Amino acid sequence: MEFILGVNYWPRRKAMFWWKEFEEWEVREEFQVIKDLNLDAVRIFLLWEDFQPEPERIDENSLRNLEKVMAIAHDLGLKVMPTFFIGHMSGINWLPEWTLSDKPHERFLTYSNGRVVDLGARDIYEEPDLLEAERLLLEVVASEFDDHPALYAWDISNEIDNVRIPRTPEAGRRWVRFVYETLKASSSKPVTFGIHQEDIQGDKHFRVGDVAEGNDFLCMHAYSVYTDFTDPLDPYFVPFACLLTRALGKKDVLMEEFGMPTTRGETRKIRSVTGKHEAEHYLVGEEDAARWLEETLKALYEFGVLGAFYWNFSDYHESIWDRPPLDRAVHERFFGLLRSDGSLKPTALVMREFRKRMGELKRRNVEIEVPEDYYSDPKGNIVRLYAEFRQKLGL
């Protein structure tokens, strides 16, 4: 089975305002860089309010721009994984006005219709009118692009429990199944779902075994730099998160997001904002990050993960640092394989050269025995299982 290498993509000069300010030349230029880094695939994000500004209307201009993105990818031999219902992105929620509730979200602010508001979402998992609107978006996009040669897979959403936690685990399971079946009615392509480490170190009602029922393969987002029970530069946590996800869901796993914010200086902590709260965040020295990435990729490959999509393509250009979420989430400016001036970081060189190393690597397996009642104490279980995993590796 081929190990797929990819990257999560927002344009360097646009970030989440990409679809509103779409420029075809920019996509072609940056996808060429991705191709030159020997990467296979690009994960992109269909910002919900740009693709569905009204419940009964899919934006034709956004569809045509998506068509251009797919064509550019195909020209360059890249695969694309579109992600629906964005939703949550980089510490803020991005939602159409018609999805908003009249109550604040406990953790995150929301960007909607040109402004940041302190409002959460209605029940996007159970309210019938919202489900019908979601069905429309899924059907229109999937039917139009199903046979496109650049299409790799569909991604249901991105860490959507940060938009709203389902009322119960059953509500979460039912919603994933609804999206999966809707996509499969219009498309033959694989379907997955961008869940994250909060779904394995807590219970946000997207339990991995339930999610697996509506996934052809599983995904995980994991960040050692955000983990409070291991070193921020530990190269084994990300692979472990994949193995734990596989053990819980009994399906193959793609590492869909991993990475760290970097600096040309020494590794240090800064004050930055995630959601409504300021906290300390690491900026990791570029060479330290490159060494971490090389070891992490090696372990992901050896443990039989489907592939690795780095977060993300580029640091964001200084001209958009005054726009949400970069105006407050300082660390989110610096996760790229490229610097804000477009030059390659050492991590980009690691990604570019990794395919050459694959032939030297041997597959290995470490079994993770998960208890049947894992979600009765997910944080305690993940800490214990990770300690056992490190012992098995002799660390």
pTM to 2 decimal places: 0.98
User: Above 90 in pLDDT, residue 300?
Assistant: yes
Q: What is the pLDDT of residue 1?
A: 59
DSSP conformation class of 391: H
Q: What is the pLDDT of residue 29?
A: 99
Residue 87 preceded by cis peptide, ω within 30:
yes
- Phi, psi angles (nearest 5°) of residue 109: -80, 170
DSSP conformation class of 377: S
Domain ranges of the chain: 4-366
Q: What is the pLDDT of residue 144?
A: 98
The string of pLDDT tens digits covering residues 147-170 is 999 999 999 999 999 999 999 999
CA distance 178 to 150: 25
The string of pLDDT tens digits covering residues 180-211 is 999 999 999 999 999 999 999 999 999 999 99
Which string of b and e fits 343-382 if b means at least 16 CB within 10 Å?
Answer: ebbbbbebbbebeeeeeeeeeeeeebebeeebbeebeebb
CA distance 51 to 72: 19
User: Above 80 in pLDDT, residue 13?
Assistant: yes
The amino acid that residue 370 corresponds to is V
User: Above 70 in pLDDT, residue 178?
Assistant: yes
Residue 318 binned pLDDT confidence (cut-offs 50, 70, 90): very high
**Homologous superfamily of 4-366:** Glycosidases (3.20.20.80)
Average pLDDT (111-137) is 98
The amino acid that residue 220 corresponds to is M
Average pLDDT (219-225) is 98
